[in-house]
Amino acid sequence: MTGPPAAARHSEPETQLLRQIQVAGSMAEQVMARRLEVNGTDLAAMGHVSAAEPPIGPRELSQRLGLSPAAVTEVVDRLESAGHLVRQRDTRDRRRVQLRPSPTAVGRVLTEIAPLTRELDRLADSFDDAERAVIGRYLTGVLVAYEHFGRD
């Protein structure tokens, strides 16, 4: 009988901390979903729509969430009905629909995450420029690793 791969048995302390951050982030997302009165899928959709530049449409959202187009239509309908999302026609291609967060939703989310943002900013301010450069380089590498892993 073989055990887990060597990489699963041991990882660097920083990697272990990143895993703990993922768990804490997941718990924070559950809290945010409850506060916004949406489910986890709807919150994930809101995140993708908010972060997208240029704006994405339902097809792109379907791909990002790994859901069928019909399921994404239900998600978008729910979010639009709740006032979290607006559909807009693309000005260059009127057949295309763009999804954008509503101004109300943006304000509400920013209000909800303000305490966390302030705490993280205070923490960042506690480091000198050289430390921040190292942290930034590490976090950029983490982001690249996640993006690479997340590609299909």
Which domains does the chain possess? 29-150 (1.10.10.10)
The packing angle between helices 69-81 and 58-65, to 10°, is 110
Which is nearest to 64 in space by CA: 80, 46, 48? 48
Q: What is the pLDDT of residue 105?
A: 96
Long-range contacts of the stretch 134-137 (C-beta < 8 A, 24+): none
Share of the chain above pLDDT 90, in %: 86
pLDDT digits (tens, 9 = 90+) for 14-36: 999 999 999 999 999 999 999 99
pTM tops 0.75, yes or no: yes
